Every structure is written in C-alpha cells, then in structure tokens.
Amino acid sequence: MILLIFVPEKYHESIMSKKESGYRQSIEEIEAILAKIESGETDIDDLAAEIKRAAKLLQDCKEKLFRTEQEVEKVMKQKNEG
C-alpha cells in the first residue's frame, strides 16, 4: 500500500525540522516560545500558532518519553531473562 501525502510548500520546512529535531531541541523550542509569549514579543496574530506549536512539541516529547520508557523496560526485561 502506498500513501501519498501532499503538503503545502509553506509547511514542508516546518515538517522537516520536526522530524530532525530531538527531545532536547523540542524542549528548547518550547522554552523559547514561552519566553517570547511571556515577554510580550508575540504578536496577537501569531499567538494561536505559537501555542499550537508548543502543544505539538509537548505531545511529541511525551511520545518520545513513552517510547524510551518502553525500550528501557524491554531491555531490562531481556537482561533479567538472560
């Protein structure tokens, strides 16, 4: 089965950077977004987009933590069985 997804060009860069960013980069971006919002630097027109981005990054981090926890548990189980 082949699934083709067409992504508007303006979102392509954002999606690619999301794939390449790791947990630490996501946390740093969340912190930067929060600092920008707290300082009042975020234009009201961009506020919703910034909050959505931060929420997406948080969800990504939660998923990465969950997957890592699962992998660690698997390794520990294999170690204890072996």
> Residue 16's pLDDT band (boundaries 50, 70, 90)?
very low
How far is CA 26 from its chain centroid? 5
pLDDT tens, residue by residue, 21-32: 599 999 999 999
Cα–Cα distance, 44 to 21 (Å, whole number)? 27
Instruction: Write the CB contacts of 22 (distance below 8 Å, at least 6 apart in sequence).
Output: 64
Tell me which residue has tokens 């997406």. Answer: 56
Examine the pLDDT at 7 and tell me if it is beyond 70.
Answer: no
Does the reported pTM lie above 0.95?
Answer: no
Q: For helices 44-81 and 23-39, what crossing angle results, to 10°?
A: 150
